[in-house]
Structure 1
Amino acid sequence: MGIHIQKGEEEELIVKFNYTSGRVKKIKLIDGRRWDPEEKFWTIPYTEEAVEQLFNIFEDEEILVDESLDLDIYRGSIGAQTWKSKVLGEMKEELKLQGYSPNTIDVYLTHINQFIKFHKKNPETLQQEDVRKYLLFLLEEKESSHSYANQALSSLKFLYSEVLHKQEVVFNLPRPKKEKKLPVVLSQQEVSKILNSIDNYKHRAILFLTYSAGLRVSEVVGLKINDIDSDRMLIRVRQGKGRKDRYSILSEAALKALREYAKRYNLAKWLFPGGKKGTHLTERSVQRVFKKACKKANIEKDVSIHSFRHSFATHLLEKGVDLRYIQELLGHKSSKTTEIYTHVSKKKLNNIKSPLDDLV
């Protein structure tokens, strides 16, 4: 049996092969690889880097790719695109020098990777019409959201203006009009069902903390032990979005869940350590925990871990908490961002009686 590659869940690829210690050593070289002990297979991120690594380390073996996947462009490309490594390396370096967050750096580099994958050419040789063609592809063929296309354009503007110094390529390119979408909010009953569906102490502590303080997933995985101030009942969020520190509230229930978890784990630096020594848990792991909890709780809404943050803000608003305090807890730069929760709060809508009720 060769190396079999299939499509997995949430931008992952499933990799199957008969066990040999050599093969296991090889796949462990891939960043983000994970062994599923229940299903007995490996998964790797569905990214260009991970796929190229896979083809590279198993180049002496037969690789069988599922028909639903288009991975042929990676075959034989290993080592042939040194310009790509150079461009991405220079962009990563410039983003770091300008103080961009690790999350933004990853997002921008992913967009540029997708842009290169689409054109299969060195971006230095491309013109504005090539950028326009790619943006139209995102909007029309891939049916990407306007915010995703805007993010892609921001990445390309940074590449051509700050790295390649070819500003004319992205000069005066129009941005897709921002969509006015309302966040999906869970009811308090639904939140309770999700939290009560978890038996694992670590997973329970993570989700309790995420909802109770309205944290972003990147913020909760990055918490250190000394960020929990149980005397003042506060959580210190270091370098959140926009490189800002802030405090959020620590609930009694979340603190209890944390203490139950801490009794059973040997914690050193990170509040939620990852699989590798000295690292914290990944965002993907928390997202997976949330999805499994939703499935177990029979939640049918299309929600993500970020929905806990939306729900936290909406529930506070419905309890009568001033919008300015909610803005501070969430770490929003502008009050306009926080005001979106007034549109999903049931507080005002529940006071409005439908005219139908007067008729029947």
Structure 2
Amino acid sequence: MIETEVPRKNKASFEKLIKVIRQRNYKKATEYTYLRYNLDFLLFANKPAEKVVTKDIEKYIDHLRKKKVSSSTIQINISSLKMFFEEVLDMNIFEDFRRPAREYKTPKVLSQKDISILLDFASESNRSHLLCALAYFGGLRVGEIIRLKWGQFDLTKRTIKVDSPIPTQNRIVLMDAELQKVLKKFEKEVGTEKSAFLFPGKYAGTHLTSRNVERLVGDLAKAAGIKAQVTLFTLRHSRAIHQLAEGKSLEDIRDFLGHKSLATTESYLPIRKNLRPQVRQKHIQDALKEIKRKYKY
């Protein structure tokens, strides 16, 4: 729960927010985020929530920008405030509010040489090897990897039924030969009970946390002598770029990564945003040519 005391003038409205959030059965982390960001805003505005106006929201967003808060965090702040004022308090203060455009940073890409070095180094542990292989060869997100159970694999059809934390991103992933090889080595070591997590946590019925997994992969990369900061997303993104270099289409990459929109896949490319459609298409084609030049075997 929130450690900071809620101002007396906002206790009633904040209790309403807590009640709505509890009714929706959000995850603890999501619940904390919504409460924390709304309380931070109320402390900044220093007035009863019912008297907040659009100008107060704009001042707060400027305040966050000056503190160099990331674009994604600002977007989550805005979503949290919209939920509170529109859905809990039934206030229409966002009608004239212009939401700032989300800024996308093109993720880092490892060379195929660095990927080979990392996977070779990770192979000293079957568990570490499989974690990296699922992100690189399978294109899975960290949240999808840590929730994997043995029952999601069909070794006959060579597929993984990926249950994403976001239902619209559920998909079937075809395993290539390299991923199957790594999986079978791990299977021999630990056995395969269909309802069991691939990567069990400390306590019965739990799985490894994303924090633990990311720390493990980051430490592996450092030990392997890779200078770039490496996460499982780095491996997933690197695989997508390597596939583009091999001639796969953006549509194929979209399906491989489980993106709902092609625009999300295009955001992986190092191109300027907010361009006219024709200009944007030229920039995309130029980016693809550069990727083929730089990353093709």
TM-score, L = length of structure 1: 0.65
State the secondary structure of the residue aligned to 2:172: strand
**In structure 2, do the counterparts of structure 1 residues 310 and 263 end up closer, same or farther at CA, with 3 Å as the change threshold?**
same
Deviation, 1:290, is: 1.4
Gaps of 5+ in 1: 1-47, 53-73, 97-101, 353-360
Q: Distance in 2 between matches of 1:123 and 1:282?
A: 38
Cα shift readout 1:69-122 (whole Å, capped 9, x = no counterpart): xxxxx5xx59x99765763352243375xxxxx5xx834741541341464479
Aligned pair partner of 1:93 in 23, 37, 59: 23
Cα shift readout 1:120-162 (whole Å, capped 9, x = no counterpart): 4797456134433332222111x12323212221221122212
Q: Distance in 2 between matches of 1:122 and 1:250?
A: 56
Report the counterpart of residue 320 of structure 1 in structure 2: 247
State the secondary structure of the residue aligned to 1:235: strand
Report the counterpart of residue 153 of structure 2 in structure 1: 228
Matched, 1:135 2:65: no
**Which stretch has the larger CA shift, 295-304 or 339-348?**
339-348
**Which stretch has the larger CA shift, 155-164 or 83-92?**
83-92
Report the counterpart of residue 348 of structure 1 in structure 2: 289
AA of the residue aligned to 1:188: Q
State the secondary structure of the residue aligned to 2:247: coil
Q: Distance in 1 between matches of 2:292 and 2:237?
A: 22
Deviation, 1:195, is: 2.0
Q: Distance in 2 between matches of 1:215 and 1:257?
A: 15
Aligned pair partner of 1:164 in 77, 89, 114: 89
Q: Distance in 2 between matches of 1:265 and 1:126?
A: 59
Gaps of 5+ in 2: 272-285
AA of the residue aligned to 1:313: A
Deviation, 1:218, is: 0.7
Q: Distance in 1 between matches of 2:214 and 2:79?
A: 26
Report the number of matched residues: 271
Bigger fraction of residues in helix: 2
The 5 Å alignment of 1:154-233 reads: 154-168=79-93, 170-198=94-122, 199-233=124-158
Report the counterpart of residue 200 of structure 2 in structure 1: 273
Cα shift readout 1:4-52 (whole Å, capped 9, x = no counterpart): xxxxxxxxxxxxxxxxxxxxxxxxxxxxxxxxxxxxxxxxxxxx65xx5
Give percent identity, aligned residues only.
Answer: 30
Alignment root-mean-square deviation, CA: 3.2
**In structure 2, do the counterparts of structure 1 residues 257 and 351 end up closer, same or farther at CA, with 3 Å as the change threshold?**
closer
Say which structure, 1 or 2, has more relative contact order (CA 8 Å, 6+ apart). Answer: 2
Report the counterpart of residue 36 of structure 2 in structure 1: 113
Q: Distance in 1 between matches of 2:128 and 2:292?
A: 38
Report the counterpart of residue 309 of structure 1 in structure 2: 236
Deviation, 1:347, is: 6.0
